[in-house]
């Protein structure tokens, strides 16, 4: 599916901090700041959310979070992520 940007913040992005423990475990560190600043979506058999997250100072990370279809009743899952991003780096499919 195509990635689209949106100004309306869906609940999954508002709930972005739910992905924080998964990311901290993968990175082996704790983030004092964890704020979603931009997102895009891709509809597949569920929805991929690409979320730019401010993690402190001038550091940003791009997260790919998957939300399954409602009838599957699954938790949000951190599918992958990219570190060492800057505020102005384009958020794109990965």
pLDDT tens-digit series, residues 69-84:
888 888 788 899 999 9
Span 47-62, pLDDT tens digits? 998 999 999 999 999 9
Q: Give the C-alpha separation, 67 to 86, whole Å.
A: 26
pTM: 0.76
Do residues 21 and 32 touch, judged by C-beta distance below 8 A?
no
**Cβ atoms within 10 Å, residue 39:** 21
Question: Is domain 3-85 in CATH 3.10.450.10, yes or no?
Answer: yes
Q: Kindly list the domain boundaries of the chain, sorted by start residue.
A: 3-85
Confidence of residue 85 (pLDDT cuts 50, 70, 90): very high
**Max intra-chain CA distance, the chain:** 40
Report the half-sphere exposure of 76 (CA within 13 A, side-chain side).
21
């Amino acid at each position: 599916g195509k990635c689209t940007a949106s100004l309306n913040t869906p609940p999954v992005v508002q709930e972005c901090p739910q992905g924080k423990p998964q990311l901290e475990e993968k990175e082996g560190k704790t983030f004092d700041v964890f704020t979603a600043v931009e997102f895009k979506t891709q509809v597949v058999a569920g929805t991929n959310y690409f979320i730019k997250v401010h993690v402190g100072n001038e550091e940003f990370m791009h997260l790919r979070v998957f939300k399954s279809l409602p009838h599957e009743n699954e938790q949000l899952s951190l599918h992958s992520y990219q570190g060492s991003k800057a505020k102005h780096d384009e958020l794109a499919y990965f």
